[in-house]
Structure 1
């Protein structure tokens, strides 16, 4: 509940020295101040002087100004360059974004036309593919039809040839059987004579000689 200490403007700017602070003299009061650490409520205790704080701040500001002016200036210049680069980059990105936005808005404005164009193109492609497919299927059907007709024709020819061969063999067999059963020895002799008589005509000018020879042979045979 004690009242706060009075403001110390200038006493004891150097340090705490209780013995020197209690002596007379302006210099002792200027350099030293009283502070009883064992009794914080001692009424003679003095807080750090405001002048010392001002001197410390001035010294600090001077040191910073002398030793930190160039690095600080360079840091500020570099920071300014970085900020300007960031601003340029942001401006470029903004322009690019605005350009893209304009493109998108233009595309959205003509979206219906684009969709109709795409539908027309896809329909034309589908129709062309359908026609090509129909032509290909028709060609394949015609080719298969020609192949089937050719195979059927070949099979018919082969069947006809087999039937003709079987018919000829059957006719020959039947004729042989008829000849064997119905033709007598007299008919066989007559057929042989007719055959021999037709040979000179078939052989041409040499038919007489052949006739003699055949006659001899015929006589010999008879």
Structure 2
């Protein structure tokens, strides 16, 4: 805003100079034209008004200097102040670029953190996986051992039951035989044989 005021002040100060210089220049040119017309017939050696002579005129040179200074001042103010809309747009674009860079940096940071966390998770899962596998193998071995023990106990119990049933059947058969077909001496002999057999069966059941 201050630059605009300085520009207006310089323009106001430069206008009178330009007007005065242009008036003086016009008067000088008119005077030269009048002299040229008055003495054209009497004096052929008088110099004619040309563009080169106009450039050599001090008044015209002063006008050019003032105009050039005004142009330079306007250019400086425009360069210094600039277009407010363009400046605002430039700030907006710079802010958007900074925000985009910040978002990109945050995304890269989160990606690295996620990758690092996954790597650590994989490393932590290895011992846990080994522990679970070891527990499963230990449990399977214990179940196999328990199953083998149960089967062995069932076999032993079945053997005892069969032995007991065989002994009972032998006793009944011997009693029936003794009652029907044997004499007293035969009964004594069979009784001894039965007792011996019973002892053998008992020993087998114990083993």
Query: Whose helix fraction is larger, Structure 1's or Structure 2's?
Result: 2
Normalization by structure 1: what TM-score? 0.34
* Structure ranking higher on relative contact order (CA contacts 8 Å, 6+ apart): 2
